[in-house]
Amino acid sequence: DPTKVVRIALTNTASIAAWEGQIGQAAYSASKGGIVGMTLPAARDMGKIGIRVMAIAPGAVATPMIGALTPEIQTSLESAIPFPSRFVKAEEFAKLVLHIVDNNMLNGSVIRLDGASRLAAIVCACPQSQNTTSASPVSLKAALVGCSARKAKGLIGIVVK
């Protein structure tokens, strides 16, 4: 009976940006929102043939991209993560995938792996930055580095991805 045998456990990767997209990241946020939105209907459709569908929505993960940021930006990003105040480790993501595979009752849901972080819109009103609200994520990160007022009222949000 295919309704009693788990054949496959699909685990897709979304992002917390699916819920809290940032300025300049509409397409990225929409793509991750698509993964979130398809998880439950796909699980319902594929459950008939023994396939479970889950998604993980990580926050900032300790990757080479994050490692390329200045220590100052890394510290700023980590301080915005409530607990634990650090980046997600790749091993933690892998362990969650293994748990999803092991637990047959996990199906049709999205699990946030983010230390309770929430992304803020990015606004830097620093004199050095030029039109950062329409800039790319890379130039927004660069604006944060040169923003002398970032710890005062100039910085309202931070770049996470």
d(CA 23, CA 136): 9
Place of tokens 């970032």: 150
CA-to-CA separations, 110 to 14, 26, 134, in angstroms, rounded: 8, 20, 30
**Residue whose C-alpha is closest to residue 140's, from 124, 156, 121:** 124
φ, ψ (nearest 5 deg) of residue 132:
-70, -15
**Residue whose C-alpha is closest to residue 109's, from 38, 7, 15, 21:** 38
Cβ atoms 117, 85 nearer than 8 A: no
Q: Which of 20, 28, 86, 149 is catalytic?
A: 28
* Torsion over CA: 111, 117, 121, 124 (sign): negative
Is there a catalytic annotation at residue 159? Answer: no
Q: Which residues are catalytic?
A: 28
